[in-house]
Amino acid sequence: SQKIEQNSEALNIQEGKTATLTCNYTNYSPAYLQWYRQDPGRGPVFLLLIRENEKEKRKERLKVTFDTTLKQSLFHITASQPADSATYLCALDPASNTGKLIFGQGTTLQVKP
């Protein structure tokens, strides 16, 4: 069956450290993966998109990797801050370029000062 999985356990790290979140998928062949941030009671906010022919993409303190062999994407936040505390969702378009997104269950990150 098709699945997109993120670690459902909350990730607690100390301020200043690097947070690494994992997204694994099964039986999909996405042309790209997206990462979103969601705060409680709010809609998701787009962070980064990485295409299948890109191994890595960066935006300020954020870095995303995409390994189509492992069927995995890693999301890194360097020099983490308490304001980075939120739930992070990975998403993929199951049929490529339809615009429809299938989301993982999200990983909650807690950055402690």
Partner 1 sequence: GAVVSQHPSWVICKSGTSVKIECRSLDFQATTMFWYRQFPKQSLMLMATSNEGSKATYEQGVEKDKFLINHASLTLSTLTVTSAHPEDSSFYICSAGGARSGGEETQYFGPGTRLLVL
Q: Which of 70, 74, 57, 54 is nearest to 6 (CA)?
A: 74
Q: Interface with partner 1 includes 10 (CB under 8 A)?
A: no
Binding mask 77-96 for partner 1 (x = CB under 8 A): ------------x-------
| CB nearer to partner 1: pick between 9 and 14 | 9
Q: Interface with partner 1 includes 99 (CB under 8 A)?
A: yes
Number of chain residues interacting with partner 1 (CB under 8 A): 20
Q: Interface with partner 1 includes 106 (CB under 8 A)?
A: yes
Q: Interface with partner 1 includes 101 (CB under 8 A)?
A: yes
Q: Interface with partner 1 includes 55 (CB under 8 A)?
A: no
Choices 15-23, 62-70, 72-80, 97-105 (CB under 8 A): range interacting with partner 1: 97-105
